[in-house]
Structure 1
Amino acid sequence: MKLFLNTLLLLAITNIYSQNTIHGTVTDANTNEKLEFVNIYFPELEKGTITDENGKFNIENLSPGNYNILFSMMGYKTQSFPITVPSTNEIKIELMPSAIEMESIIVSTPFHKLQSENVMKVEQRSIKDLKANGAVTLADGITNIAGVESVTTGLSIGKPVIRGLSSNRVLVYTQGVRLENQQFGDEHGLGVNDAGIESVEVIKGPASLLYGSDALGGVLYLNPERFANNNISSGDFSGNYYSNTQGYSTNAGYKSSENNFKFLFRGSLAEHADYKTEDYRVTNTRFREQDFKAGLGYQNNVFKTEFRYNVNNSKLGIPEEIGEQSTNKTPLLPYQNITNHVFSSKSTLFFGDSKLDVNLGFIYNDRKEFEEHHHEENEDEEEDEVLEAALHMKLKTANYDVKYNLAKLGKFETIVGVQGMNQVNSNYGEEQLIPDATTNDVGVLAMTHIHFEKADVQLGARFDNRNIDVSNSINKTFNSFNGAFGIKTNLVNNITARVNLATGFRAPNLSELTSDGTHEGTNRYEIGNNDLKSEQNFQTDLALEFKNEHVELFANGFYNKINNYIFISPNGEFIDENPVFIYLQDDANLYGGEFGFHLHPHPLDWLHIESSFEMVTGKQANDVFLPLIPANSLTNIIRLEFEKPWIKSGYAFIKLRTTFKQTNISAFETNTDGYTLLSAGLGGSFTLFKNELSVTVSGSNLTNKTYINHLSRLKPDGIFNMGRNINLGFTYSL
């Protein structure tokens, strides 16, 4: 028996410390030429490398198991290849040249990591592309994604809108954990800076199966920048200048990986003056933002873990009316001072053909709002008083996400998991928008992916419980059972169809349940309703795609039925000279979609012509239109891509975006006129002092059009959106 136990122990130690390695060669499928700088990546292991000048690659210290390995390179079709580790065979991959853009890796979904193989429709855009299009902030950048808009208060405050749903109906994930920062408020933005974020993914429609309550309308998933490949160190710094706000943003970062350890850090600073229209500057839209991100990772044969930290401090002016005309960057009263801390850890334990993922997060949101005080006291006392926040709220959120990926059984891949959250809201200021309260969530889920010969099927179920305990007041519990079913198949050659059916839910938030006071930002007296029920929805999505070497066509349609939709409405009364608004419920329906094409004609593969149309309509059951529904829009882009001996990844584009008149409005909205905005830009990479320098120049609203977006909270005051802006940017890699 002792000999037997010692043998087992020796085998276990050998398995843990053995150096599992794969190696191979990548060539061009047409010319058999060895390809250099091909990206090779294991999404499950978050580990990769690039090929050398002979097209060869080698990856060591791999956990045993079955994985998909991805091969990608600009100008070639991305390929996914199944592999079993350990493997002694040399891998030989032939990549097919393609004018279609290189496919990105999808992080937010649990099974396939290429969108072409995914059952769910996920939109992804890199931050680099969004910045190249002239985006000033992250909230501004996401509006370049089809089906995504933003409810804005000036330039600094933006809330994502996915197919007409926003606020607590859209869940935001950052660093792999759900971001909680008082998003119920009209003037509460994302609280995340784009520095240190690699890409943005959008899941449209109910994602409660994967993420629980508040994912009723969809998920905005922010992917942090990757760690460096093994035994590589790199650094970079960048800067951007914005002519309209005479503002700037800068960031610098460094990352390194050696043996089993890796780390990174990045800091950034941005300052902007009031944005300018053709006729005036919009007073107090100025803001300052500081951000720092850091990460530390460790990985061996059977275990990997990473810890990330992000602190963001933003001082944001809250515009009220057109007043002082200056280019000062220090916000006037009223303004917000927000500090947001995000701690997260992601760990994976590998058991050969199965694995355990454990994600933990803690978010500490410290929100202060300062405003004018009107007391008949001397100036010194007033100045001291202004330093005290009128509104001071702290939100502390701890969450966990544990998923076990079972060993693949024939055609079945299965995940079971448990997710939960503990959230404490506390007030410290003289004013109180929502009371002190504690929220607890717990949910259990199971999800299966079935690989048939001609189709992929995905289905799952989930049960959630949410308890909201308001101090010295109500205690409410909400339960929900949800499910999802999806299928992807090729109807005929080059035509892919996806059908997804899913339910979702959202428990009413504290503001909807307990409000009782004047909301300064909207100049209305709000009264909550503690009898509100959970919103429950059922959505049908149909996505069709045609793709060949030179043409891509897509049509995405959806119908979303929401029971017990919560909305706010005036009741005709006044308190303290402010109109009274109360929270009500009614069934609602939203429907629409996104449609478009991408043409890159042979032999002009460097020319790209893109066009897309997006629309959404939202109505209550009584045919009254829902508020804050974005207007229909049409976007046309002509883009050129080129390579020269002196420039890499060169590009130039012209974009014309037409937003149509919005007449489908709620009872307390007004019609919004349509408008067309012209944008253009160019850029590329050069070698400077043996390192790469990337330069971008872009211009938005080049005709200096005066317009108002329907989702602007400054619309009731007739205040225009931003005028012409020229953005100059650079990134220098060390």
Structure 2
Amino acid sequence: MRNTLLLILLLAVSSVIYSQEQFTGTVKDAQSGEPVFSANIYFPTLEKGSMTDPDGNFSLKNLPRGKYKLVVSSIGYATFTTEVNLPEENLEILLNPSAIEMEEVIVSTPFHQLQSENVMKVERESLSELNKKGAINLSDGITQIAGVESLTTGVGIGKPVIRGLSSNRVLVYTQGIRLENQQYGDEHGLGISSKGIGSVEVIKGPASLLYGSDAIGGVLYLNPEVYAGSNSTHAEVESNYFSNTRGYQFSGMAKTSGEKLKFLTRGSYAAHSDYETGEDSRVTNTRFNEKDIKTGIGFQDNKYKADLRYNFNRSEIGIPEDIGVQSTEKEPLLPYQKIDNHVLSLDNRFYFENSSIDFKIGYQFNDRKEFEDEHEEEHEEDETEEEHETHVEGEPALEMHLETLNYNFKYNLPKIGNFETIVGVQGMFQTNENFGEEILIPDSETVDFGIFATTHYHLEKWDFQGGLRFDNRNLESNAFTSEDGDVINALNRSFNSINGAVGAKYHIDQKFIARLNLASGFRAPNLSELTSNGAHHGANRYEVGNPDLKNEQNFQVDLALEYRNQHFEAFINAFNNSVSDYIFINPTGEMIENDPVFEYSQGNANLYGGELGFHLHPHPLDWLHLESSFETVTGKLDNDDYLPLIPANSVTNTFRVELDEGDTLSEKYAFVRLKSVFDKNNIGNFETQTNGYSLLSAGFGATLDLNKVNIDLGVSGTNLLNKSYISHLSRLKPDGIYNIGRNLMASAIISL
């Protein structure tokens, strides 16, 4: 596989030199006529931009001929979009002052549009903003997005939950490729550091049209940090301290760009002790540490763009079992996981006049090891105890190597009238090998292939988008013997599905937007669901797979309404998600070695709910922000049993102050946030009710400007009242273990 990847990389980076075009102009305030400094000039399709100088002037070189969408944005102004026929010189752009926050280009959807122009509603947040609010890690930070929660095992392991669906029902994309790291398990975290991630986008609902199998619940799309602007160099050093876990995090970054070549690199290290609950006790072995390296090399001329990225992440994460020894040590105790994750990706873009080709390839290697302590077995026959080790001392009891090769080819056809169309093929080749004594899933080989087409039709007030896709997944596994001596037969299954999506957006006077989207999706059963036969120690049950499971198939209706003027925004999103052949685990009533036996079954399910909220920034107090949001989801089987691991309803209220101006201190901010979670009474058959709770958070910060050096300082606190509470999505809930108590975070970023 490695040789194949290297051959593809060599073929993909070849390019031809073409003539160069440029684009120049000036950005001014539409009311005063004054030049606008530091306005962002950006071509989304070309992924190339620039900034205006103090006189409002800008210049971009190495651009292809053709008509392309231009986006111009600046703090304090409404985002401006237009189409430009390159080459173009001395274009004058007028920006209208506005208190509405700047819009960003959405990358996770095919046509790279602003949120207000997108037919599909996509949530987008910058990681810097999430970190300012006290996020301990990436999985913790995304819970600040309405409709997104996290299924956690302590603070070191978290998996995204989008509108009640998680694990293999939510796809995670990083560096433009789907992340594959044994994500089927609840006790498997993301394996990605938040450092070096620029922003996160969330698609809520089936996205199989764009991403294939496993996007039945939605997509978490992680955008890497951008390169430095042309002919510039930038460096930064960042440090964070977390009071609750006595944790610290360090990160250093350097990036430089010429006219065509770009380079960046970042290294990060984090270490945390066992977290402390509101009861002032530490949860033993919730400690973890993480090493992360990200680097990239970019090249762009007027006809070709390449972005080669590499990410190495090593995580050592304790597996908590109960509250025992109280310690602030940071090295995990037994049992613990040691996970190495390598992600290599190459994004090639070839630009022609009014059309382009996007070809992404990626290689991933995931090495998952689990180290266990010795245990004892009692033999009733001779009433003696025999002590034995599950593995050779120092060797992992479980070791799995997952190798994945991804490819994604898209052709952006020339625009015909108001139609923009994309056709493409996607695929994946994956192998899993076991090297430890324990086997969770067998040695296997998975091959995916998908072909799709999608089109967008634009009118003055209406936008329409739709498409179709066909997918095939072939899965082969070897026979193996379970820990109880049962022989699990080899498997050879093929799964096929045809899916589609259609949506419409209605836009009135830049104030009211209505979106209606209908989409289907599918998920092929994973190896754990098909082949399990053994004790699941983390869940205290014996699981039996079902080799005859069929595709999950869903259909979602999503209605989104949004109103915004210069000082007020409000939204309401409602959805209904019907899932045929939903896979769930069910008790048989039997016991094996004191563990209840559960088997995988299928039945029809329905999830429904939504989010609503508002954002007020009253005139003339444009620096004052009042925000409120509510989220709810309910999941039920056809027999009226509630689905497990569905998040409780919640309300989040935020009071925020932002003051951008200042000579020495700029970008000053402060916030107070109260998240109130309701009682969770509509629970699954194997769950218990969860009491509601309220968590108070607050923070403040500013940027210190020292000539060419900027220092971003911030202090934030979560659960400031040290509330003792248990989240319904905590895997430690059955043991009555509380979530994290009060945590204060201090951060400093020095930028050069």
Same fold (TM over 0.5): yes
Whether the 8 Å CA contact 2:391–2:397 is kept in 1: the answer is no
Q: Does 1:705 align with 2:723?
A: yes
2:287 — aligned with what? 286
User: Which secondary structure does the structure 1 equivalent of 2:522 belong to?
Assistant: strand
Q: Which residue number corresponds to residue 298 of structure 2?
A: 297
1:539 equivalent to 2:540? Answer: no
- The answer as to whether partners of 1:694 and 1:732 remain within 8 angstroms in 2 is yes
Question: Residue 11 of structure 2 aligns with which residue?
Answer: none
Alignment of 1:249-648 (within 5 A): 249-279=249-279, 280-374=281-375, 385-472=392-479, 473-490=490-507, 494-642=511-659, 643-648=661-666
Q: Distance in 1 between matches of 2:442 and 2:144?
A: 37
Q: Which residue of 2 aligns with 1:75?
A: 76
Deviations 1:681-714 (A, max 9, x none): 0111011363111011100000000000000000
| 2:381 counterpart residue number | none
Q: Is the 8 A contact 1:651 1:683 kept in 2?
A: yes
Mapped pair 1:677 → 2:720: no
Take 1:157 and 1:345, find their aligned partners in 2: how far apart are those partners?
A: 29
SS in 1 for 2:130: helix
Cα distance, 1:112 vs structure 2: 4.1
| More deviation, 218-227/296-305 | 296-305
Q: Which amino acid aligns with 1:521?
A: G
Among all aligned residue pairs of Structure 1 and Structure 2, give the percentage whose two residues are the same amino acid. 59
**Aligned-partner Cα distance in 2 for 1:19–1:689:** 36
Letter in 2 for 1:726: L
**Partner AA of 2:525 in structure 1:** P
Q: 8 Å contact 1:372–1:386 — kept in the other structure?
A: no
> Per the alignment, in what secondary structure is the counterpart of residue 21 of structure 2?
coil
Q: Write the distance in 1 (CA, Å) between the matches of 2:393 and 2:593.
A: 23
Q: 1:382 offset after TM fit, Å?
A: 6.4
Aligned residue number for residue 122 of structure 1: 122
- What is the DSSP-based 3-state SS (H/G/I as helix, E as strand, rest coil) of the residue aligned with 1:386? coil
**Which residue does the alignment assign to 1:9?**
none
1:349-401 deviations in Å (ceiling 9; x for gaps): 11111111000011110000011123699x99969933111111111111100
Any idea what the Cα deviations from partners look like across 1:268-301, whole Å, max 9, x if unmatched? 0000000001320010000010000000011111
Give the superposition deviation at 1:182: 0.3
- Deviations for 1:114-136, whole angstroms, at most 9, x for unmatched residues? 10110010000000010000000
- Whichever residue aligns with residue 408 of structure 1, its letter is K
2:560–2:572 Cα contact (<8 Å) kept? yes
Q: Secondary structure at the match of 2:72?
A: strand
SS class of match (1:604):
coil
Spell out, residue by residue over 1:13-43, the C-alpha distance to the aligned partner (whole angstroms, 9 max, x if none).
xx95322011000011111111111111122
The match for 2:677 is: 659
Q: Which amino acid aligns with 1:688?
A: L
Give the CA deviation at 1:425.
Answer: 0.8
TM-score scaled by structure 2? 0.94
> Is contact 1:420-1:440 (8 Å) kept?
yes
Q: Is the 1:485–1:500 contact (alpha carbons within 8 Å) kept by the matching residues of 2?
A: yes
- Distance in 2, matches of 1:514 and 1:84, equals 57
Separation (CA, whole Å) in 2 of partners of 1:329 and 1:699: 22
Identify the range of structure 1 (109-118 vs 196-205) with the bigger mean alpha-carbon deviation. 109-118
Given that 1:373 and 1:385 are in contact with CA atoms closer than 8 Å, whether structure 2 keeps it comes out as no
State the Cα deviation string for residues 168-195 of structure 1 (Å, max 9, x = none): 0000000000000001112001010011
Q: Tell me, yes or no, if the aligned pair for 1:370 and 1:389 is still in contact at 8 Å.
A: yes
Q: Which secondary structure state, in structure 1, belongs to the residue aligned with residue 529 of structure 2?
A: helix
Give yes or no for contact 1:371–1:386 (8 Å, CA) kept in 2.
Answer: no
1:86 aligns with 87
Letter in 2 for 1:270: A
1:259 Cα offset (Å): 2.4
Residue aligning to 2:163: 163
Q: Which amino acid aligns with 1:173?
A: Y
The CA distance in 2 between the partners of 1:469 and 1:690, in whole Å, is: 58
Q: Secondary structure at the match of 2:375?
A: coil
Q: Which residue of 2 aligns with 1:29?
A: 30
Aligned-partner SS, 1:609: strand
Alignment of 1:168-187 (within 5 A): 168-187=168-187
CA drift of 1:491 comes to 5.2
**Deviations 1:634-671 (CA, angstroms, capped at 9, x unpaired):** 00000011133321111100000000000010110000
3-state SS of 1:433 partner: coil
- SS for the counterpart of 2:420 is strand
User: Matched residue of 1:644: which SS?
Assistant: coil
8 Å CA contact 1:370, 1:386 repeated in 2? no
Deviation at 1:334, TM superposition (A): 0.5
The Cα shift of 1:492 comes to 6.7
1:8 aligned residue? none
Counterpart in 1 of 2:13? none
* TM-score, scaled to structure 1: 0.96
Q: Does 1:724 align with 2:710?
A: no
CA distance in 1, matches of 2:389, 2:171: 40
Letter matched to residue 129 of structure 2: D
Rounded Cα–Cα distance in structure 2 between residues aligned with 1:299 and 1:116? 29
Deviation by residue 1:44-70 (Cα, 9 ceiling, x = unmatched):
222111111100001111122221111
Alignment of 1:173-252 (within 5 A): 173-252=173-252
- Give the 3 Å change call, closer, same or farther, for CA 561–382 of structure 1 in structure 2: closer
The SS at the match of 1:385 is: coil
Q: Which residue of 2 aligns with 1:64?
A: 65
For 2:350 and 2:743, the matched residues in 1 are separated by 49
In structure 2, the residue corresponding to 1:61 is in which secondary structure? Answer: strand
Q: Aligned to 2:229, what secondary structure does the other structure show?
A: coil
Contact residue 130 and residue 142 of structure 1 kept, 8 A: yes
Q: Distance in 1 between matches of 2:633 and 2:393?
A: 44
Equivalent residue of 1:598, what SS? strand
Task: Give structure 2 stretches of 5+ with no counterpart.
Answer: 1-15, 378-383, 480-489
